[in-house]
Structure 1
């Protein structure tokens, strides 16, 4: 049974809003995305535009722009009365998205073998090495960020813009679920072993093996995320 959602609580430290780049709406979206990832805005929580705008110290206009960005990413949804809330997809919906993500990442791995430079492959190898060497000492958010950086880099060096954009959208929808999965210590060794298989295939530029390793990795993620979400909702 899913636990009921009441409200959320953000500390003053959480509300420091950096403005080094992009539009205010995009920066606010980045901050809200982090809140959702860390469940400072839990799944299903109502989002009061007035309260959140005041806490972020911005007007409601850029906040609505931020919410529109997150709606496109599948992280925010609206009720029939147009009230925003944090999306709370079902396990079945997440699993279906992961099947598509597996196909996207398999294609990305195959294309990376053909189009990535040696320097770009070295960049991917270095990201994996960081996870392998510090898997027990990296904070969960740092480990997860490095993991996602590795996956996103493989897609980026595929050289296919349409794939990069499609992958970004699906990954945004799955961000919270993948983070919950990443925090499970029981699946960490399997994750690292599957990463090693991906790296080995990439280094030899074997497109078929890289694609298969990427697809297997995402298939394992489906099972791991389902287990993690069932544990959290029970």
Structure 2
């Protein structure tokens, strides 16, 4: 196994711990302790930390240990405003540009979410949810938009995970996804714009509620018991 592959596996493990709140926002990631705990050398660990920093999950600090990112609610909501605009634009372009194969893939992801919504752990459900949004953006056939969207998805990875972990909200999310799929299939830009905007508005409400109830930066406590069960091994969580 080469160092790049090992680094990605270490990043997967650390990412899971961050998403599930085992590594809390603001927590130090000490190279010596982490490398010993994972049974790896520091070189692939450092590369894994750089991967997570590029995703917005870790903050690098000169001459000090990196920490788990702890963005403010204002920073998160500002990013969500931009994400909303990006996803509306992506959906409108996908209405014009998506191929039949891409529409089939988007539909299949929605059907997979429906099938696993009552049984999947939080991470598995989140993977499919984010794949749904990434695939719509890819169907826009606009590489600049896709690159920018990928960057904002990375920055909002943990807040979106926390929101997706609320089982009580899954029926609404699935209904909205279904309406988005129908809008894409019928090439109805007005419908998809309205549904994506409504989808993001509920996301902002859920995230704001979670963070306001947990101002210590650890809102994940609210979902751990009900949804954040142990994920399967090596979840493919990297935003692409």
TM superposition score normalised by structure 2: 0.81
Q: Is residue 2 of structure 2 the alignment partner of residue 30 of structure 1?
A: no
2:123 equivalent in structure 1? 141
Matched ranges for 1:172-191 at <5 A:
172-191=154-173
For the residue of structure 1 that corresponds to 2:26, the secondary structure is: coil
Greater length-normalized contact order (CA 8 Å, ≥ 6 residues apart): 2
Q: Is residue 103 of structure 2 the alignment partner of residue 125 of structure 1?
A: no
1:225 equivalent in structure 2? 207
2:41 equivalent in structure 1? 59
Unaligned runs of 5+ in 1: 1-18
Assess, with a 3 A threshold, how the Cα gap between structure 1 residues 56 and 161 changes in structure 2: closer, same or farther.
farther
1:198 deviation in Å? 0.7
Matched ranges for 1:165-176 at <5 A:
165-176=147-158
Q: Is residue 189 of structure 2 the alignment partner of residue 207 of structure 1?
A: yes
Contact persistence 2:88–2:193 (CA under 8 A): yes
1:170-205 CA-to-partner distances (Å, cap 9, x unmatched) read 111211111111121332222122212211101111
1:76 deviation in Å? 0.9
Assess, with a 3 A threshold, how the Cα gap between structure 1 residues 155 and 190 changes in structure 2: closer, same or farther.
same
C-alpha root-mean-square deviation of aligned residues, in Å? 2.2
TM superposition score normalised by structure 1: 0.83
For the residue of structure 1 that corresponds to 2:59, the secondary structure is: strand
Matched ranges for 1:68-147 at <5 A:
68-79=50-61, 81-147=63-129
Contact persistence 2:3–2:44 (CA under 8 A): no
